[in-house]
Chains A and B, each alone.
Chain A
Amino acid sequence: MPQVMDADRMARALTRIAHEIVERNRGTSDLALVGIRTRGVPLARRVAATLKEITHEDVPTGALDITLYRDDLMRHAVGPQPLVRRTEIPFSIDAKRILLVDDVLYTGRTIRSALDAVIDFGRPRSIQLIVLVDRGHRELPIKADYVGKNLPTSRRQSVQVRLQEIDGEDEVLLDDAPEEGA
Chain B
Amino acid sequence: MLKSRHLLGMADLDPEEIVLILDTAGAMTEIAARPIKKVPTLRGRTVVNLFFEPSTRTRTSFEVAEKRLSADTLSVAVAQSSVTKGETLLDTVRNLEAMAPDMIVMRHASAGAPHLLARLCRSVIINAGDGMHEHPTQALLDAFTIREHKGGLQGLKVAIVGDLLHSRVLRSNVQLLNKMGANVWACGPKTLMPPELPRFGVRPTTSIDEAVADADVVMMLRIQHERMHGHFIPSTREYFTLFGLTPERVARAKPDVVIMHPGPMNRGVEIDSDVADGPYSVILEQVANGVAVRMAVLYLLAGQEAVTD
Closest B residue to A93 by CB, please name it: B35
Task: Assess whether B24 is in contact with A74, with CB atoms less than 8 Å apart.
Answer: no
Cβ proximity bits B92-116 to A, threshold 8 Å, 1 near / 0 not: 0000000000000000000000000
Tell me if A53 counts as interface (CB < 8 A to partner B).
Answer: no
Task: Assess whether A80 is in contact with B307, with CB atoms less than 8 Å apart.
Answer: no
Task: Assess whether B34 is in contact with A78, with CB atoms less than 8 Å apart.
Answer: no
Give the Cβ gap from A106 to chain B, nearest Cβ, in Å. 22
A69-B40, A121-B35, A122-B35 known; A77 and B307 CB under 8 Å?
Answer: yes
Which residues of chain B are near A81, meaning CB under 8 Å? 1, 299-300, 302-303
Q: Which residue of the partner chain, among B1, B45, B299, contacts A84 with CB atoms under 8 Å?
A: B299
Closest B residue to A116 by CB, please name it: B40
- Tell which of B25-33, B126-134, B173-181, B229-237 binds the partner: B25-33
If over half of A's interface residues share one DSSP class (helix, strand or loop), that class is named, otherwise mixed; here it is: loop
Which residues of chain B are near A77, meaning CB under 8 Å? 305, 307
Which residues of chain A are near B36, meaning CB under 8 Å? 120-121
Give the Cβ gap from B289 to chain A, nearest Cβ, in Å. 15
Cβ proximity bits B293-309 to A, threshold 8 Å, 1 near / 0 not: 00010011011111100
Task: Assess whether A86 is in contact with B26, with CB atoms less than 8 Å apart.
Answer: yes
Tell me if A177 counts as interface (CB < 8 A to partner B).
Answer: no
Closest B residue to A79 by CB, please name it: B303
Which residues of chain B are near A79, meaning CB under 8 Å? 1, 303
CA–CA, A87 and B30, complex, Å:
7
CA–CA, A43 and B69, complex, Å:
29
CA–CA, A80 and B305, complex, Å:
10
Which residues of chain A are near B2, meaning CB under 8 Å? 80
Task: Assess whether B306 is in contact with A78, with CB atoms less than 8 Å apart.
Answer: yes
> Contact residue range for chain A?
20 to 34
Contacts of B276-306 to chain A: CB distance below 8 A: 296, 299-300, 302-306
CA–CA, A68 and B41, complex, Å:
5
Which residues of chain B are near A83, meaning CB under 8 Å? 23-24
Tell me if A65 counts as interface (CB < 8 A to partner B).
Answer: yes
CA–CA, A117 and B31, complex, Å:
11
CA–CA, A88 and B31, complex, Å:
10
Cβ proximity bits B40-74 to A, threshold 8 Å, 1 near / 0 not: 11101100000000000000000000000100000
CA–CA, A174 and B240, complex, Å:
70
Which residues of chain A are near B296, meaning CB under 8 Å? 84
Give the Cβ gap from A84 to chain B, nearest Cβ, in Å. 4
Tell me if B39 counts as interface (CB < 8 A to partner A).
Answer: yes
Q: Which residue of the partner chain, among B40, B42, B304, contacts A78 with CB atoms under 8 Å?
A: B304
A74-B45, A84-B24 known; A120 and B303 CB under 8 Å?
Answer: no
Give the Cβ gap from B65 to chain A, nearest Cβ, in Å. 13
CA–CA, A68 and B299, complex, Å:
9
Task: Assess whether A120 is in contact with B27, with CB atoms less than 8 Å apart.
Answer: no
Closest B residue to A65 by CB, please name it: B27
CA–CA, A81 and B41, complex, Å:
11
Which residues of chain A are near B307, meaning CB under 8 Å? 77-78
Give the Cβ gap from B32 to chain A, nearest Cβ, in Å. 12
CA–CA, A117 and B38, complex, Å:
10
Task: Assess whether B27 is in contact with A87, with CB atoms less than 8 Å apart.
Answer: yes
Task: Assess whether B30 is in contact with A120, with CB atoms less than 8 Å apart.
Answer: no
Known: A78-B304, A81-B300. 14 other contacts (CB 8 A): A68-B69, A69-B40, A77-B307, A80-B1, A80-B2, A80-B303, A81-B1, A81-B303, A83-B24, A84-B27, A88-B30, A116-B40, A120-B39, A121-B34
Cβ contacts A to B, 11 pairs, < 8 Å: A65-B27, A68-B39, A68-B69, A69-B41, A78-B306, A84-B24, A84-B296, A86-B27, A87-B27, A120-B35, A122-B35
B-contacting residues of A (Cβ < 8 Å)?
65, 68-69, 73-74, 76-81, 83-88, 116-117, 120-122
Top 3 nearest A-B pairs (CB, nearest first) are A80-B1, A81-B303, A68-B39
